[in-house]
Amino acid sequence: MVESALDARLSSVLGGKTADALTKAFGVRTVGELLAHYPRRYASRGQLTSLAELPLGETVTLVAEVKQVSERRMQNRRGNIFEARITDGTGILSLTFFNQAWRQNELVPGVRGIFAGKVTAFQGRRQLAHPDYELFDAALDAEAAERWANTPIPIYPATAKLPSWKVQQAIGIALDTLPERLDADDALLGIGAALHEPASGDSEAALPLALALRQVHQPQSETEWRSARRALREAEALVLQTVLVRSRNELRQHPTRPRVAGELRAAFDAQLPFTLTPEQLTVGTEIATDMAQSAPMNRLVQGEVGSGKTIVAIGRCSRPPKMAAKVRCSHPLKCSLPSTTARSCNRSAPS
């Protein structure tokens, strides 16, 4: 039984073929997972994507205008080649189609659209052979044309078989299945209200989840997608922190034996050929305080390479031999610890 519209299987909304293609390409299986496939950027119809430095061999998505079209017969075999040259004002790219003269009815000079394909080279010129494309509607009145020109174009992480606009079409269908309100709306509104109190002068308004998803995928302005992205980021961060706090609280329900630092810790610090920095001493004291508690410690030592994380961790492992316990010295890098540090670990943290 489906508890939420976001839990619905993609096959029930998009059909099996499209759902399987999305699952294979991006690993998404539900409406919620598809709607979490956010745009990687937004293009503007008024500012076309640069064609000046396209990487060869890459599958690209471009917003451009058709500048010139031509048709010629192939020399070594029967058939015709239809070629359209597109531009963004900084570069030229050729689109080539074999035995598809009917394309000239769509790709006429002056039309704009979004094009996707693999960049190749022919006679020193970059081209897209048989690219996918979707043209923008030009039959608009002045007011509609202005709205059209200012509407951002979401560009999604895509593949050769699933270009950006096909992902966009699938997401549009999924959005149509959402109710006006979702179960998580109140929670997201609460997050927004807590983070953006009117008294603080913050101009950002709290967004319900359903509206945030629509605005991040179908924005009518830059302001809409920025507000939606901010709301979704804050919600994701809060959910992640909530899960971590819950996990930590569950872990602390299992008491452990306190490990109180003794003389070995001071002896270890004294034998070092350098003086610990104030930051190292602070972190060491925090670790020692945690280890002296009856609840399990859950702490990550984080810092730049060479900042002394390993020496701090080993020093805090020092404890009287009568405390029967094992200490594991682990290192995240694919290199061995310096020999002096390894010897210190063996000497200061016996098992």
pLDDT tens digits, 18-27: 999 999 999 9
Domain assignment present for 50: no
Name the pTM for this structure. 0.58
Q: How many domains does the chain have?
A: 4
In this structure, the answer to whether residues 71 and 133 fall within a common structural domain is yes
- Based on the fold, state whether residues 74 and 192 are members of the same structural domain: no
Give domain status of residue 194, yes or no.
yes
Do residues 136 and 59 both lie within one domain? yes
Q: Do 35 and 163 share a structural domain?
A: yes
- pLDDT, tens only, 65-97: 899 999 888 777 788 889 999 987 778 889 999
Check if the beta carbon of residue 26 is closer than 8 Å to that of residue 18: no
Do 117 and 236 fall within a single domain?
no
The verdict on residue 257 lying in a domain is: no
- Considering the domain architecture, whether residues 106 and 91 belong to the same structural domain is answered as yes
User: Which two tokens mark 230?
Assistant: 């901010």
CA 325, CA 33: separation in Å to the nearest integer? Answer: 44
Instruction: Determine the structural domain holding residue 230 and report its residue range.
Output: 179-251
| Strand, helix or coil for residue 319 | coil
122: domain CATH number?
2.40.50.140
Do 62 and 139 sit in the same domain of this protein? yes
Residue with the bigger pLDDT between 185 and 7: it is: 7
Output 144-150 pairs: Cβ under 8 A, ≥24 positions apart.
147/220, 148/45, 149/45, 149/46, 150/45, 150/46, 150/221
- Alpha carbon 250 to its chain's center: 29
Tens-place pLDDT, residues 151-199: 888 999 988 788 888 899 999 999 988 887 766 555 555 555 555 544 4
Are residues 216 and 136 part of one domain? no
Tens digits of residue pLDDT in 322-331: 555 666 666 6
On whether both 90 and 168 belong to a single domain, the answer is no
Question: Residue 256 domain-assigned?
Answer: no
**Residue 209 amino acid letter:** L
Tell me what the mean pLDDT of segment 279-304 comes to. 83
> Which residue has tokens 């309100």?
181
Instruction: Spell out the residues 6+ positions from residue 174 whose beta carbon is closer than 8 angstroms to its own.
Output: 10, 13, 14, 31, 34, 35
Q: Which of 143, 165, 190 delimits the end of a domain?
A: 143
Asked whether residue 201 carries a pLDDT value surpassing 60, the answer given is: no
Which carries the bigger pLDDT value, residue 11 or residue 317?
11
Tell me, yes or no, whether 324 and 267 share the same domain.
Answer: yes
pLDDT of residue 245: 87
